[in-house]
Amino acid sequence: MNHQLKATGTMGTAAVFLTAISTILGAIMFLRFGYAVANIGFFGALAIILLGHAVTIPTAMALAEIATNQKVEGGGEYYIISRSFGIIPGAAIGISLFLSQAISVAFYTIAFAEAFRPVFAWLSTATGMEISDARLVSLPAVILLGLVVIKKGADAGIKLLYGVVGVLFLSLALFFLGSGHQENPGSYHHLIETVKDPDNFFLVFAICFPAFTGMTAGVGLSGDLRDSRKAIPLGTMSATLVGLVVYIAIAYKLAISASPETLAGEQLVMAKIALWGPIIPIGLACATISSALGSSLVAPRTLQALAGDKIIPSPRLTSWLAAGTGATQEPRNATMVVFAIALVFVMLGDVDFVAQVISMFFMVTYGAICLISFLEHFAADPSYRPSFRSKWYISLFGAVACLWLMFKMSLPYAVLSILMMTALYLWIGYQNPERRGLAAIFQGAIFQISRQLQIFLQKSGQQSGEERWRPAVVCISAHSFERLDSFNLLRWIAHRFGFGTYIHYLPGYLSKETVANSREIMHRLVHLTDVSRSNIYIDTLISPSYTTAVAQVAQLPGISGKENNLILFEFSRQSEEELADIIDNYRMLLATGFDVCILGSTSRDYGYRREIHIWITPEDYDNASLMILLAYIIMGHPDWEGGQIKLMAAFPEAEIDEQKENLHLMIKEGRLPISARNIELLATDSGSPRKELIRRQSRDADLIILGFIGEALQHQKEKLFAGYDELGNILWVNTKKEILMNRDEISDRNGNDTAPAETDEDADAAGT
């Protein structure tokens, strides 16, 4: 917020109440409530009043709640929304709110001119002078009102409101004291009687709803208040409740005082009912001019607050609009802009189209305020401690009701309003890329949802029996920025089917310097995940040795709510010194039950990402299912689009037939999720070692997946990984348990069947 806005205010609760009540009791009350009672009866009008207040009361309660949690500075509703939702979405709503408030000045001034229709009729009768254009009144009225507000400021405007609201309540008092012309005024029949062929309920509601959209007007004076935490809740709630009582009383009085035909045919029927008829046009004039005055006090402060947040691209215009005059920092420049807009629309004379869009923008504002309150309740933020508390379900109801009523009132205008809001959001976001956007809105709510889901998944995992395997991979690497091979492999595995946690290891002890370094690296890694569109969780780990780091990583809780089940190591095959640490810590991992993958990377990276070769030997049957599943999951990433999997089974020539039967049996039983037609059996002999066969058959493969067993690793150590010169990246896989998974599920996820069965027999064999 701009520091130029007023530091100390002089107004109290009365200013908020008067501004709000003067906007609530406006033109609709005098001109259109008789029409409402005539078309839907008293009980229908009562339903409209209650439905309208089903939006306004939750909004008033939400405003009271938010205002008692933070000091609401200049800008009122805009300040609340922008400080809760973030500057960009807050400004999009704020600009719409400002335009609604500014054009409302013109709308109420035009309605003010309608109060002079009886004067026009009298002049025509008395002098013969015909006056049909109400702009003869509305144009001088808006100019005079503008001069008063610009020259005298908010204090003079509030003093004028005292007198205007006094006359307004006097006109209402004389209306209630009148007897009207209805026969048997106490008859129940008059409460349900309507005109013939009445308008439908929601059409009447759409016409009358603007009558209830003034309760937040007083919030716009927030920068001028001595104690906004007290004045806003008390003034807003009292104005809302007083308006509710007054509207119910007016509807009842109209129903028992005049027939539906009279109510529908006479726009100023209240004048015929009142104890002294001329007070009603006077009251209408006071109601409309007070509403125009209320809007003219609020709109400039909203614009001044927007300019103070430097939302407008032009620095010179921003400075001019944000400037204040005098000790109270009156927004006179912004006020001139408001009345310039109002003057344009008064000259047009017809604001029906704009008025309906205005109602939509007000509904958007009210819905946003209710949504803020609901999200704050749901997020359970310990820093959110308002002294007045609404209920989360009341705020949620208000937000949903606003959205529902927007579309019930007018589908075209609702869609138009939403499109305009979207366009404003995109434009402001483009102009202010460094500001907070929509991502900030639901952080607390997402935190709560994530927390509950993690607890649910953990509990359900403990209670359930056997379940299909899903990769929850944790990768540890000290070379995140030198080699991206393990990072890329993890993001492919975690793209959609599994969950990945990437840990950057920093050797050393915890200190101020190492923590600062880890945070810098963390920032770089988060940027890397954003650029690569990765769905993996990033973290850093400071530990004195690789062994202690692996021990810590092995005990990390699963971020997804499921325990991690696979650990991924990586080393460079051009420099195999790192292998010793991996091999030395493998025995420790035996106690954890983790599956283990070791990625040997080369300068070839993953080539063209078109072929994955899987090699199976009699010793690798236990690893085969996991090897195949990982290949399917990797192939499902868009980076591997159009690629294929080749499964090579290498056996001594004398065992080919026997091993072929074993493979078919394993496929049929569901232990290998692949079609038999995708397996290529290769014979090995004494003159052609297995590693030589792999080098010959897979020299052009982009990724090679091999299995290994723990005993061989501990016995052969580095030799196990040697002898694969001139090949691309190799992933060695070791599993501790049998992996079961539905192959059809993987095929559907990848968008096509990588290994289709050609016959029914093959399809059965491919099975589970």
Residue pLDDT, tens place only, 687-731 = 567 888 888 889 999 999 999 988 888 888 888 898 888 899 999
Q: What is the layout of strands, in order, in the sheet containing 729-734? A: 536-543, 499-507, 472-477, 566-572, 595-601, 729-734, 703-707, 611-616, 644-652, 679-684
Nearest to 528 by CA among 487, 500, 559: 487
Q: Are 391 and 51 in contact (CB under 8 A)?
A: no
Among 256-265, 469-478, 558-567, 718-727, the range scoring the smallest mean pLDDT is: 558-567
For 469-598, CATH gives 3.40.50.620
Share of the chain residues as helix, strand and coil, in percent rounded to the nearest 5? 65, 10, 25
Q: Residue 763's CB: how many other CB atoms inside 10 A?
A: 13
Tally of residues, the chain: 768
pLDDT of residue 200: 81
Q: Are 643 and 612 in contact (CB under 8 A)?
A: yes
Answer whether residue 742 shows pLDDT above 60.
Answer: no
Residue 653's φ and ψ, nearest 5 degrees, are -55, -35
pLDDT bin (cut points 50, 70, 90) of residue 642 is: confident
* pLDDT mean across residues, the chain: 79
* Beta-strand runs (E) in 488-557: 499-507, 536-543
Question: Using 50, 70 and 90 to split pLDDT, how confident is the model at 467?
Answer: low
Instruction: Return the higher-pLDDT residue of 673 and 732.
Output: 732
3-state secondary structure of 707: strand
**Which CATH superfamily, name and number, covers 13-440?**
Amino acid/polyamine transporter I (1.20.1740.10)
Give pLDDT, residue 249: 92
The tokens 């299995």 sit on which residue?
Answer: 707
**Between helices 87-114 and 135-177, what is the axis angle to 10°?**
80
What is the average pLDDT across 570-588? 85
CA distance 691 to 716: 15
Secondary structure (3-state) at 706: strand
pLDDT above 60 for 226? yes
Above pLDDT 70, what percent of the chain? 81
> Residue 385, SS3?
coil
The CA distances from residue 365 to 173, 305, 399, 435, in Å, are: 33, 16, 10, 21
Tokens coding 538: 């990033």
* Percentage of residues in the chain having pLDDT higher than 90: 12
Residues 6+ apart with CB under 8 A from 496: 535, 636, 749
Residue 757 has pLDDT above 60, yes or no: no
pLDDT of res. 96: 80
* Bridge pairing between strands 566-572 and 644-652: unpaired
Whether 409 has a pLDDT exceeding 80, the answer reads no
Q: In this model, does residue 142 exceed pLDDT 70?
A: yes
Instruction: Give the residue-averaged pLDDT of 252-268.
Output: 85
Which of 2-6, 297-301, 655-659 has the least mean pLDDT? 2-6
Q: Which two tokens stand for residue 577?
A: 């010194």
**Alpha-carbon span 599 to 582, nearest angstrom:** 11
In this structure, of 152-156, 358-362, 431-435, the range with the lowest mean pLDDT score is 152-156
- The arithmetic mean of pLDDT across residues 86-101, rounded, is 82
**Could you tell me whether strands 472-477 and 499-507 are parallel, antiparallel, or unpaired per DSSP bridges?**
parallel
User: How far apart (Å, rounded) are the C-alpha atoms in residues 706 and 724?
Assistant: 11
Inter-residue contact 81 to 362 (CB < 8 Å):
no
Q: What is the mean pLDDT of residues 307-319?
A: 84
CATH 1.20.1740.10 residue ranges for the chain? 13-440
- Which range of 402-406, 561-565, 744-748 scores highest in mean pLDDT? It is 402-406
Between 447 and 61, the higher pLDDT residue: 61
- Comparing C-alpha atoms, which of 39, 93, 369 is closest to residue 206? 39
Dihedral angle computed from the Cα positions of residues 430, 433, 435 and 436, in that order, rounded to the nearest 10 degrees: 80
3-class secondary structure, 515: helix
Q: Where are the alpha helices (DSSP H) in 669-759?
A: 690-697, 710-716, 743-750
The residues, ordered by sequence, that sit 6+ positions from 119 with a Cβ below 8 Å of its Cβ are: 281
What is the number of alpha carbons within 13 Å of residue 735 lying toward its C-beta? 20
CATH 3.40.50.620 in the chain is located at 469-598, 602-768
Would you list the DSSP string of 547-616? HHHHHHHHTPPPTTSSPP-EEEEEEETTBGGGHHHHHHHHHHHTTTT-EEEEEEE-TTTTTTS-EEEEEE
pLDDT at 397: 92
**pLDDT tens sequence across 13-70:** 888 888 788 778 877 788 788 888 999 988 999 999 998 888 888 888 887 787 777 6
Tell me the CA distances in angstroms from 185 to 173, 254, 618, one per residue in order: 18, 10, 99
Higher pLDDT, 484 or 180: 484
Q: Structure tokens of 723?
A: 């002898």
For domain 602-768, the CATH superfamily is HUPs (3.40.50.620)
Q: pLDDT per residue over 583-623, tens digit each?
A: 888 888 877 888 999 999 998 889 899 999 999 877 777 88
Distance of CA 492 to the CA centre of its chain: 28
**Average pLDDT for 635-642:** 88
pTM of the model: 0.61
Closest CA to 614 of 642, 638, 650, 589: 650
The structure tokens 């569901």 sit at 670
| Per-residue pLDDT tens over the stretch 368-380 | 888 888 887 877 6
Does 473 have pLDDT greater than 80?
A: yes
What local confidence, expressed as pLDDT, does residue 460 receive? Answer: 62
What are the distances in angstroms from CA 226 to CA 1, 157, 230, 497, 590? 18, 17, 9, 57, 68
Find where tokens 């501790």 sit: 736
Q: Which of 111-120, 391-400, 531-540 has the highest mean pLDDT?
A: 391-400
Which has the closest alpha carbon to 622: 592, 651, 591, 595? 595
Alpha helices by DSSP H, listed for 178-278, are 201-208, 228-257, 260-265, 269-273
Residue with tokens 């609201």: 165
Give the model confidence (pLDDT) of 186-224 as tens digits: 455 667 788 888 888 877 887 787 778 777 666 666 666
CA-nearest of 45, 26, 73, 94 to 435 is 94
In which residue are the tokens 């399917």 written?
A: 632
**Which pLDDT score is estimated for 537?**
87
655 has a pLDDT exceeding 90: no
Q: How many CB atoms lie within 10 A of CB 529?
A: 16
